[in-house]
């Protein structure tokens, strides 16, 4: 009797289980149906953003420059082009995988109808046009697309960049491009041209009207051993202030006095220019530029010269009254030919030619307040003997020093009252966090508060290029944190992100 009751009860339980299982299946199907319907009708949070905010996000998608850079800005030549052979930035075109074209407006238009409407209603989004004319497009295609961009940009000033070469096409096609640029030149505020030597020669017959042009980047991507490029295309640019030239020498009247067959002249109005970056410039070329740019304030020369190279015919150093910032990459030999009484910032990249630091002992550089050194951590540099001559330096920035080099600088600062006597700000950058850098940070902290003669830093900045475990810094990190109560401002960044101390 007991067994029969249990079997009956088991059957009832199984029936209930089956019933609930069927009900669960029904609920699961209903759930899937609701989720599917929700996906069809859901409003994503980004669609609820104000149009103004969405527009600003779209603007951030625009390429800053044809060339990759750390500090590139729209309408401003890159002031920090350390790599003279750098390639144009890769920006894929919307409809194919080739070329380096601006694609931001076209891509956002494909996301949804709302974004398309916002993009078409934002003229500023179409005011930047960067294109590589090599291989994949004809010049006519480029011109047609550019006219479309200009129409949508309405009255916004244009940022235009063109690089590459029309391989396999009609050599006369480049004139179609130049004539198009001439037609819209009054609207151009920023212009970048990275062209082959023969295309620069073709540009020689043009004289554009550029009333709004404020910044120019011009590069000759294949320079022969003969001179001869001369163009007045940029001469009518009364607002031009910032210029970056690669393998192109600005030509002025009277003609430059230093012969340099490896560079070619480009006519500019010298009195207007306040910022110049010259890439692949010899000492002679750089001197020519400084000679005929009386209002230059900011200069960066990325040069190449043989060891012990000397410029003939220079009897006394060239005096430039207005230059306040000078950066020299690869070769600082030009310093021996300069007298810069008002120079405020000197930045030297001595990773390949450290021996030229000795020039600091003789050059007339005025009252330098900020001194920046870019080093190679694999080489020890006897920099201390020459930094001594920069007695007015208020801020010292040392990037990627070897342990021995930095130790020498810190030891001299701590023990010698005449070494960097007015230094108040010290910044040091390393590539990676290591136990050794932790020990060097300890030395930096000691120098900040315990230097001889009452010298004392106001700020100490530590930076690393790559992320890593900060515990490797050991006592160095603790010492850095301990500066909080000492009156010295201390900070540390990793890949540009501040670390809480």
Per-residue pLDDT tens digits for 262-301: 343 455 666 788 998 888 777 777 887 888 888 999 999 8
Task: Please count the other Cβ atoms lying within 10 Å of the Cβ belonging to residue 231.
Answer: 22
Distances (CA, A) of 110 to 91, 106, 113, 255, 352: 17, 7, 8, 53, 48
Least confident of 28-42, 93-107, 422-436: 93-107
- The answer to whether residue 140 scores a pLDDT higher than 90 is no
Confidence class for position 63, pLDDT limits 50, 70, 90:
low
Whole-number mean pLDDT of the chain?
77
Residue with more model confidence, 76 or 405:
405
DSSP 210: -
Most confident range, picked from 8-22, 35-49, 236-250:
8-22
Confidence class for position 371, pLDDT limits 50, 70, 90:
very high
Q: Per-residue b/e over 237-268, b at no fewer than 16 CB within 10 Å?
A: beebbbbbbbbbbbbbeeebebebebbbbbbb
Residues above pLDDT 90, as percent of the chain: 22
- The answer to whether residue 14 scores a pLDDT higher than 80 is yes
Least confident of 55-69, 122-136, 162-176, 309-323: 55-69
pLDDT attached to residue 443: 94
- Are residues 453 and 416 in contact, defined by beta-carbon separation less than 8 angstroms? no
Confidence class for position 474, pLDDT limits 50, 70, 90:
confident
Most confident range, picked from 77-91, 198-212, 344-358, 427-441:
427-441
Taking Cα atoms as reference points, which of 135, 137, 64 lies closest to residue 104?
64
pLDDT attached to residue 365: 67
- The answer to whether residue 454 scores a pLDDT higher than 80 is yes
Q: What is the mean pLDDT of the segment spanning 344-366?
A: 72
pLDDT attached to residue 131: 80
pLDDT attached to residue 362: 62
Instruction: Report the alpha-carbon distance of residue 383 to residue 368 in Å, rounded.
Output: 16
pLDDT attached to residue 372: 94
Residue 118 tokens read as 């916002």
- Is the link from the previous residue into 427 a cis peptide, with omega within 30 of 0? no
Residue 492 tokens read as 């540390």
Stated as kind and residue range, the H or E segment containing 327 is: strand 325-329
Confidence class for position 217, pLDDT limits 50, 70, 90:
confident
């Amino acid at each position: 009797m007991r067994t029969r009751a249990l079997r009956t009860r088991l059957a009832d339980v199984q029936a209930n289980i089956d019933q609930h299982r069927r009900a669960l299946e029904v609920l699961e199907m209903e759930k899937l149906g609701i989720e599917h319907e929700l996906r069809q009708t859901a409003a994503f949070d980004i669609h609820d953003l104000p149009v103004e905010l969405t527009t600003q996000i779209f603007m951030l998608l625009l390429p800053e420059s044809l060339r990759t850079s750390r500090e590139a800005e729209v309408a401003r030549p890159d002031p920090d082009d350390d790599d003279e052979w750098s390639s144009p930035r890769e920006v894929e075109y919307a409809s194919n995988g080739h070329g380096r074209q601006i694609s931001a407006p076209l891509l956002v238009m494909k996301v949804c109808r709302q974004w398309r409407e916002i993009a078409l209603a934002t003229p500023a989004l179409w005011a930047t046009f960067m294109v590589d004319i090599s291989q994949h497009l004809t010049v006519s295609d480029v011109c047609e697309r550019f006219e479309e961009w200009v129409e949508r940009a309405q009255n916004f000033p244009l940022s235009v960049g063109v690089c590459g070469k029309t391989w396999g096409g009609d050599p006369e096609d480049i004139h179609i491009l130049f004539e198009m640029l001439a037609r819209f030149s009054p609207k151009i505020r920023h212009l970048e041209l990275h062209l082959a030597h023969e295309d620069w020669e073709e540009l020689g017959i043009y004289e554009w009207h550029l009333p709004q042009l404020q910044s120019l980047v011009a590069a000759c991507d294949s320079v022969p051993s003969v001179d001869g490029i001369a163009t007045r295309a940029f001469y009518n640019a009364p607002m031009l202030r910032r210029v970056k030239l690669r393998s192109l020498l600005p030509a002025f009247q009277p003609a430059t006095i230093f012969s340099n067959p490896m560079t070619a002249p480009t006519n500019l109005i010298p009195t207007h220019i306040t910022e110049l970056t010259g890439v692949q410039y010899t000492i002679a070329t750089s001197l020519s530029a400084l000679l005929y740019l009386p209002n230059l304030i900011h200069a960066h020369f990325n040069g190449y010269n043989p060891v012990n190279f000397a410029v003939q015919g220079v009897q006394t150093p060239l005096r430039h009254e207005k230059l306040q910032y000078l950066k020299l990459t690869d070769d600082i030999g030009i310093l021996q030919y300069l007298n810069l009484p008002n120079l405020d910032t000197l930045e030297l990249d001595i990773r390949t030619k450290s021996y030229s630091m000795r020039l600091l002992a003789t050059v007339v550089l005025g009252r330098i307040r900020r001194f920046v050194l870019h080093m190679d951590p694999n080489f020890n540099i006897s920099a201390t003997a020459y930094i001594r001559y920069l007695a007015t330096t208020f801020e010292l920035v040392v990037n990627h020093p070897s342990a021995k080099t930095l130790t020498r600088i810190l030891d001299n600062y701590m023990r010698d009252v005449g070494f960097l006597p007015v230094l108040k700000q010290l910044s040091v950058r390393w590539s990676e966090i290591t136990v050794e850098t932790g020990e060097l940070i300890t030395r930096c902290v000691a120098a900040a508060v315990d230097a001889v003669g009452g010298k004392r830093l106001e700020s100490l900045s530590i930076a690393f290029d790559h992320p890593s475990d900060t515990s490797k810094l050991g006592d160095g990190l603790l010492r850095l944190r301990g500066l909080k109560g000492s009156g010295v401002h201390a900070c540390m960044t990793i890949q540009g992100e501040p670390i809480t101390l």
